[in-house]
């Protein structure tokens, strides 16, 4: 929403063993250095110029909304006195085993000074796996953000504010602990999963709490709160760690069912560690699609360092259990009209931390999970998609038929933002066309924190049974040129569409917002779904933020709910 390598790592070692055993010699050898590339900034507690480096990075990225530069800042275990300001395309990572292994006193924050406090364009930034004791901003850590932003495995030893004087418009928090209060302020919508706090204060349109033991009291529609006791199925996002021997590993948390609160109440998250030797460490500009696919075919996982990867073909993930993890908003951009990633119909794939950017030649989709007609069950070991962002336009003109198509069964999506750009470069009804954001053709697919915006037809189209969605945020396209030209017999396209033949589906906490700037368009329904017992839709809201006089939404769902023709929210 907005208002306004293939380079193999080679380590050579010459040893005079004498009477030393091979095992003893190996244990005495330092781990080989890892080439993370120039856009990974590694800091430890003794780094003398850490604050100056962080300030310079923020000065560069504070306003870089459509820049191609990407960064990950890694903090080694230890204690820091720092003010870490987080700009565009920047990921701050603690690389300890527990969030409290990296302790920052000062701030790890995102403000909106560049837009005079308006945080509705504070996209594409993340903080993971660290603790912060806020001493600035009156002892409150400020995280004033909107879409494509994540707090994961963060311990705030104080209060957390989700706004910065002006509007903020959506964000995501998972596996976090806030010792004090969370103050949402003007935050219009927010999704919190498996997180704890002492007190939650405020809410505007749509706040969803899943597996959060201390969710705020209050019920819809008097309060904009949707509370679900437990998260039915999740495997937390993998994270990078640094061992005492200076060796890196990726921790894969286990699959959890009906979970509440954080995975680290006793400091360490359960899980298994994969050594970095199990990963191909990729670099934008050095590695093309052929190199990356060769690594995948050889049985390696992928760690994509920050940058923009121009892909002449889709990355093909065909081995069960493969992990593809992006650092610093690693961006995949198809150049020949293919998908960016195509996952086979296999068990247990993890895809995380990626920005998929549509190219000038239309792609059928940017992410395909399972080929059409996929039939295998993956209930015991589902594919998990964490922090997956897609866009068309903004940085440059781009087009695709759909952002994400899920054909496999039992897939879990954990935080998507699928955005047809409404501002920036390459923006227009026929300049960056995207029909659908998410299309689901596989049974028993679950999504936590689904943000889809501005596509020209149904933004979310659910064609299969057993779907579950917890939190949905969407804006209709700003730019339909006229009522007649918005298809569907001039009625416009619902944001959330459950196909007519579906007999089982559930969705909780849906917020859909109208800003029709090009014509006095009236959409008939924000949501359309079969009116059958097995389709359950709970806690929906729509409103008109701005736009042409006479524009808005006639009904919330299936002809029910008052018209939203002004700024007053309509709840159903």
Known catalytic residues are 475
Collect all residues with Cβ–Cβ distance below 8 Å to 568 and sequence separation of at least 6.
543
Q: Which residues of 282-316 are buried (b: 16+ CB within 10 A; e: fewer)?
A: bbbeebbbebbbebbeeebbbbbbbbbbbbebbbb
Cis peptide before 221 (omega within 30 of 0): yes
Residues 6+ apart with CB under 8 A from 153: 99, 128, 129, 130, 175, 176, 236, 239, 262, 263, 264, 269
What's the DSSP call for residue 31? P
Count of Cβ atoms closer than 10 Å to residue 46 Cβ: 8
Contacts of 253 (CB under 8 A, 6+ apart): 235, 236, 237, 238, 263, 269, 270, 271
Q: How far apart are CA 495 and CA 455, in angstroms?
A: 9
Which residues lie below 8 Å from residue 244, measured CB to CB, with a gap of 6+? Answer: none
Q: Burial level of 28, CB count in 10 A (0-12/13-18/19+)?
A: exposed
Task: DSSP letter for 499, please.
Answer: -
SS3 for 270-283 is CCEEEEHHHEEEEC
Name every residue whose Cβ is closer than 8 Å to that of residue 427 and which is 6 or more positions away in sequence: 393, 394, 421
Write the burial class of residue 558 (CB in 10 Å: 0-12 exposed, 13-18 middle, 19+ buried): middle
Using CA atoms, how far apart are residues 249 and 243, in angstroms rounded to an integer?
8
Q: Which tokens hold the place of 468?
A: 């579950």
**Both tokens of residue 260?**
């509440």
CA gap 414, 473 in Å, rounded: 14
Q: Write the DSSP symbol of residue 32.
A: P
> Which residues fall within 8 angstroms of residue 277, CB to CB, at 6 or more apart?
none
Which residue bears the tokens 């080439």?
35
Q: Where are the alpha helices (DSSP H) in 65-224?
A: none
Residues 355/306, Cβ–Cβ less than 8 Å: no
């Amino acid at each position: 929403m907005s208002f306004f390598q293939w380079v193999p790592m080679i380590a050579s070692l010459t040893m005079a063993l004498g009477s030393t055993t091979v095992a003893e010699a190996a244990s005495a050898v330092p781990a080989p250095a890892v080439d993370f590339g120039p856009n990974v900034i590694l800091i430890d507690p003794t780094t003398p110029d850490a604050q100056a480096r962080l300030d310079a990075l923020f000065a560069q990225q504070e306003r870089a909304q459509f820049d191609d530069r990407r960064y990950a800042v890694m903090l080694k275990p230890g204690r820091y006195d720092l003010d870490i300001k987080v700009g565009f395309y920047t990921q701050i990572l603690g690389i300890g085993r527990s969030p409290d292994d990296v302790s920052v006193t000062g701030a790890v924050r995102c403000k909106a000074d560049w837009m005079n406090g308006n945080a509705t364009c504070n996209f594409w930034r993340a903080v993971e796996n660290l603790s912060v004791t806020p001493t600035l901003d009156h002892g409150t850590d400020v995280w004033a953000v909107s879409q494509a932003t994540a707090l994961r495995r963060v311990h705030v030893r104080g209060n957390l504010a989700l706004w910065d004087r002006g509007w903020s418009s959506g964000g995501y928090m998972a596996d976090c602990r806030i010792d004090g209060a969370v103050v949402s302020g003007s935050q219009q919508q927010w999704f919190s999963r498996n997180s704890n706090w002492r007190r939650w204060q405020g809410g505007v349109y749509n706040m969803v709490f899943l597996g959060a033991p201390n969710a705020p009291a209050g019920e819809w529609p008097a309060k904009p709160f949707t509370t679900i006791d437990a998260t039915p199925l999740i495997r937390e996002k993998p994270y990078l760690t640094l061992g005492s021997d200076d060796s890196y590993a990726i921790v894969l948390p286990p699959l959890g069912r009906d979970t509440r609160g954080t995975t680290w109440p006793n400091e360490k998250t359960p899980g298994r560690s994969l050594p970095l030797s199990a990963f191909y460490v990729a670099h934008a500009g050095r590695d093309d699609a052929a190199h990356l696919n060769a690594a995948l075919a050889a049985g390696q996982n992928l760690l994509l360092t920050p940058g923009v990867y121009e892909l002449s073909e889709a990355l093909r993930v065909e081995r069960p259990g493969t992990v593809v993890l992006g650092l610093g908003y690693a961006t995949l951009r198809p150049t020949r009209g293919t998908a960016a990633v195509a996952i086979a119909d296999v068990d247990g794939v993890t895809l995380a931390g990626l920005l998929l950017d549509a190219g000038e030649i239309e792609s059928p989709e940017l992410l395909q999970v399972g080929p059409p007609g996929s039939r295998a069950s993956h209930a015991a070991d589902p594919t998990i998609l964490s922090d997956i962002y897609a866009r068309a336009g903004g940085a440059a003109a781009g087009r695709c038929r759909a952002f994400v198509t899920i054909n496999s069964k039992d897939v879990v999506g954990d935080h998507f933002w699928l955005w047809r750009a409404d501002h920036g470069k390459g923006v227009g009804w026929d300049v960056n066309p995207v029909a659908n954001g998410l299309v689901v053709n596989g049974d028993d697919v679950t999504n936590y924190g689904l943000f889809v915006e501005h596509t020209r037809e149904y933004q979310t189209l659910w064609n299969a049974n057993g779907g579950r969605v917890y939190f949905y945020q969407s804006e209709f396209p700003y730019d339909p040129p006229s009522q007649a030209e918005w298809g569907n017999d001039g009625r416009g396209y619902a944001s959330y569409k459950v196909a007519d033949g579906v007999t089982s589906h559930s969705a909780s906490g849906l917020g859909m917002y109208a800003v029709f700037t090009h014509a006095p368009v009236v959409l008939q329904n924000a949501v359309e779904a079969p009116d059958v017992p097995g389709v359950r839709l709970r806690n929906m809201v729509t409103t008109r933020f701005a736009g042409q006089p006479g524009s808005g939404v006639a009904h919330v769902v299936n002809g029910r709910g008052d018209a939203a023709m002004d700024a007053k929210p309509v709840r159903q």
